[in-house]
Amino acid sequence: MTPPTSSARHGIVPPFLLSRIARLDEAVLDHAPAAARRTLGIDEPFREQRGDERTLPGLVRSSARTALGSTVRGSAAPGAPDRLIFDARGGEDLPGVEVRAEGEPDTGDVAVSQAYDGLGDTYALFWDAFGRDSIDDEGMRLDATVHFGERYDNAFWDGARMVFGDGDGEIFRGFTGSLSIIGHELAHGVTERTANLVYQGQSGALNEHVSDVFGVLVEQRLLGHTAREATWLVGAGVFTEEVRGEAIRSMRAPGTAYDDPMLGADPQPAHMRDYVETSDDNGGVHINSGIPNRAFVALAETLGGHAGERAGRIWYETLTGGRITATASFAQFAGATLSVARELYGTDAVEAAAVADAWESVGVVPA
């Protein structure tokens, strides 16, 4: 299947957070402000420039050749991943130098190993839980590039591959260290090839939301955690010890992932009454995703057990079953999940009632 032609590129670190870092005092931090400006410059061609980023001092527009690439059909049999890892060696040209193919031994490079293992864990979730054969359900090869850019403060899906920066070392660590980030970004590929949710406003927040869902489900599957045992953190461990924060986002408690003098407070709302109207961040896609995130956790904890078994199944069928449009609102997505729950488990089933209650708890009325 040919990847979508949209120029949207989905980075795990939102632009408003990078913009804040870019303005920090360089007398206090050696690398982080310049690294954030460079990261924004690399990412800028792939999103509409909005808000105060337009006037950010020192923002360097990058000439990095990172256009959407073509995907490759994998050679492995269904049920097994076909992975290929590249090394950008600090450059910005993709894909970089091939360093590890499927079945080859560990190279000794931690980032290569983490990317290789994370791609396999993500493939395993989609295959074991949903019977999906890779991102496109046709055995697509899973490609990733590590060591992208100079202190690049992000990880992204570009339509063909995962790309990981090593972070600035002051605020961010290397992004291959978080399995939920790897799962999140690869899930953007699944969304592109199914509902293809438009990356703007509520449909864009849903795009981010479903990536958060499958990102944490990958991690929960590996750790064997039930819904109540799980942390529900996206990007745990990616901040250095200098930051007062657990992760980039908390699905269980949106708005609490970090509260730091340098970064400010996590801006995510957990209820529609606090929905953020903004022109930044493609209409708040990384902000308002907290609302459906909280609804999903409420559902998963109500149902109990492993979240991928029932709550995850409902969300997967909603995303892939042709029930929502590319511009779906929260209410429309909620209505689709309720319909799916009734189809899978019965109109009067506890699963259907739990879906309705979960959306009600965050102020969303299913359409």
Kindly report the CA angle at 114 between 250 and 90, in degrees rounded to 5?
A: 100
Distance CA 250, CA 233 (A): 5
d(CA 33, CA 21): 5
Catalytic residue among 185, 192, 208, 301: 185
Cβ atoms of 83 and 102 closer than 8 Å:
yes
Residue 244 CB: number of other CB atoms within 10 A?
12
How many helical (H) and strand (E) elements, i.e. helices and strands, does the chain have?
Answer: 10, 10
All residues at 6 or more sequence positions from 155 whose CB lies less than 8 Å from its CB, including other chains: 11, 12, 13, 162, 163, 164, 165, 175, 176, 181, 182, 185
Catalytic residue among 10, 209, 286, 306: 286
Backbone angles phi, psi at 87, to 5 degrees: -125, 120
How many whole angstroms separate alpha carbon 15 and alpha carbon 284? 10
286 annotated active-site: yes
Tokens of 223: 């750790």
Active-site annotation, residues: 185, 286
